[in-house]
């Protein structure tokens, strides 16, 4: 009887382990919408972009996602405001790591 209880507990916790890096729904939707816009809002990219954010969530937790995606986005800022993100340092390293993770996710999900 104890084995059945343990098996049931393990089975019930599997979905929780699979979503260890669950992101807020609004952030997932924002990522998917931006991704779709970058691909002419084609319906097929709803699924591909959703897959990509799920792949990213498997690799980094939400706090790291926010920091690294912000660092990448702000590399395009001109002048001294963007220097912290463009020049060598933690900002550039975070942006590069996120860029690599995002590229792996795009390849895995066939986002061109």
* Predicted local distance difference test score (pLDDT) of residue 17: 45
- Please answer whether residues 67 and 74 qualify as being in contact, where contact means their C-beta atoms are separated by less than 8 angstroms: no
Q: What is the C-alpha to C-alpha distance for residues 72 and 20, in angstroms, rounded to an integer? A: 24
Q: Evaluate if pTM is beyond 0.85.
A: no
Q: What is the C-alpha to C-alpha distance for residues 88 and 25, in angstroms, rounded to an integer? A: 33
Residues in the chain predicted with pLDDT less than 50, given as ranges, are 1, 5-10, 14, 16-18
């Amino acid at each position: 009887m104890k084995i059945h209880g343990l098996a049931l507990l393990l089975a019930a916790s599997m979905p929780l382990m699979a979503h260890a890096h669950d992101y807020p729904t609004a952030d997932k939707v924002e990522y998917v919408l931006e991704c779709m816009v970058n691909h002419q809002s084609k319906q097929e990219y709803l699924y591909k972009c959703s897959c990509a954010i799920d792949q990213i969530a498997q690799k980094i937790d939400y706090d790291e996602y926010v920091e690294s995606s912000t660092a990448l986005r702000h590399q395009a800022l001109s002048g001294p405001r963007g220097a912290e993100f463009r020049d060598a340092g933690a900002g550039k390293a975070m942006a590069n790591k996120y860029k690599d993770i995002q590229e792996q996710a795009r390849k895995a999900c066939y986002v061109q």
